[in-house]
Structure 1
Amino acid sequence: MNKGELISHIADNAELSKADAGRALDAMIKVVKKALKSGDSVAIVGFGTFAVRKRSARTGRNPQTGATIKIKASKNPAFKAGKALKDAVN
């Protein structure tokens, strides 16, 4: 499912116009990005938790040359599914 299909499903289920559903989805994405950028996590009960995970600096290997390279520390977004979502899938 792509973003357009998701917006259509949201519009149908929430009885909204596609434009309103699109704005709602964009607002939700914007709020989650802002929260993660500030170091907060976003927990949606029954769905899951969006959080930032820190990866420490490490050494890696260039697959083309085999040379050792340094990989910088980074922060990566992560999602952990909640129990209700896991149960719905299984």
Structure 2
Amino acid sequence: MNKEELVKKIAGIASLNKGSSSKALDAILQTIKESLKEGDSVNIAGFGAFKVTKREERQGRNPRTGDPITIAATLVPSFTASKTLKDMVKS
């Protein structure tokens, strides 16, 4: 499902027009992105948690030459699904 299809689905479920649904989705996504940028986590009960995790420095290989390289430590966004969401997907 792409963003346009998601907006249509939201509009149908929430009885909104597509413009309002699109603005609501954009606001939710922007809020999550800003929270992660500030280092905060976002927990949505029954859905899951978005958070920032640190990926440690590690060794890798240059795929072109095969030479070993050091991959720098970095912060990455991650999502952990809630038990409710996992159970729904299983059934």
TM-score range, shorter chain: over 0.9
Q: Following superposition of structure 1 onto structure 2, how do residues 10-49 of structure 1 map, counting pairs within 5 Å?
A: 10-49=10-49
Query: Structure 2: any 5+ residue segments left out of the alignment?
Result: none
Q: Which deviates more from structure 2 when the two are superposed, residues 61-70 or residues 23-32?
A: 61-70
Number of matched residues?
90
What CA distance in whole angstroms lies between the structure 1 residues aligned with 2:83 and 2:3? 24
Equivalent residue for 1:62? Answer: 62
CA RMSD of aligned residues (A): 0.7
Normalising to structure 2: TM-score of the pair? 0.95
Normalising to structure 1: TM-score of the pair? 0.96
The list of structure 1 runs, each at least 4 consecutive aligned residues, that deviate by more than 6 angstroms after superposition, is none
Identity of aligned residues (%): 52
The residue type paired with residue 5 of structure 1 is: E
Per the TM alignment, residue 40 of structure 1 is displaced from its structure 2 partner at its CA by 0.5
What CA distance in whole angstroms lies between the structure 2 residues aligned with 1:7 and 1:64? 42
Deviations 1:58-89 (A, max 9, x none): 22111110111121111111000001111111
Query: Structure 1: any 5+ residue segments left out of the alignment?
Result: none
What CA distance in whole angstroms lies between the structure 1 residues aligned with 2:84 and 2:8? 23
